[in-house]
A = this chain, B = another copy of it.
């Protein structure tokens, strides 16, 4: 073998990764938010997340309380759903939902000339459960959530607003930070389904949901 591999046991790889992140950051992050910020860096190898993540007041406490009370998570991609630790979530009675592939969502979107993400937020707003939204892809989902909140039709426990991209992504995040809702937002263009899932997992592990 022509390269030198570091000898780290499988079970220690994540721990060692977090140590490297802490070392390279070179400064202390706010204590409550640190596990979330570091997990985003762990997921992306992108230290920009140390600067671009924005947290509303007491959002971590509110999110942990919601998860422990059995809040469910709604995502805007099957990928984010796939990446969330469903076993950890189930420990408190929560489930993950993604309506993006549902036939009725496709039909409503087509009828109204919206994205499927918009239609799937409307579908989620019909649910009677306490909800956390983890949006890693579609800015139109965030825009619709903003409208639903403004209209008094939805009161989420938390919005994780981390869509990625170039069209209305920056604006949709600014909107959510103006809404009356607890939020964790990656300011700017960056984010993604992987980031949405990893923020959910960071919260679940802080809540004690990891084996």
Contact = CB atoms under 8 A, between A and B. Distances in A.
A113 B143 CA distance: 48
B171 A17 contact: no
Contacts of A167: 6, 8, 13, 16-17, 20
A42 B171 CA distance: 17
A168 B5 contact: yes
A17 B166 contact: yes
Given A82-B82, A194-B194, A45 B189 contact: yes
Report copies per complex: 2
A8 B79 contact: no
Contacts of A42: 165-166
Contacts of A146: 1
B114 A10 contact: yes
A107 to B, nearest CB: 14
A3 B83 contact: no
A164 interface: yes
Contacts of A51: none
A39 to B, nearest CB: 12
Nearest to A98: B82
Interface of A: 1-6, 8-10, 13, 16-17, 20-21, 42-46, 77-79, 81-83, 109, 113-115, 140, 143, 146, 164-169, 171-172, 174-175, 178, 188-194, 197
24 contacts: A1-B175, A2-B174, A2-B175, A4-B171, A5-B168, A5-B172, A8-B167, A8-B168, A10-B113, A10-B140, A13-B167, A16-B166, A17-B167, A21-B166, A42-B165, A42-B166, A43-B192, A45-B189, A45-B191, A78-B82, A78-B83, A83-B193, A192-B194, A194-B194
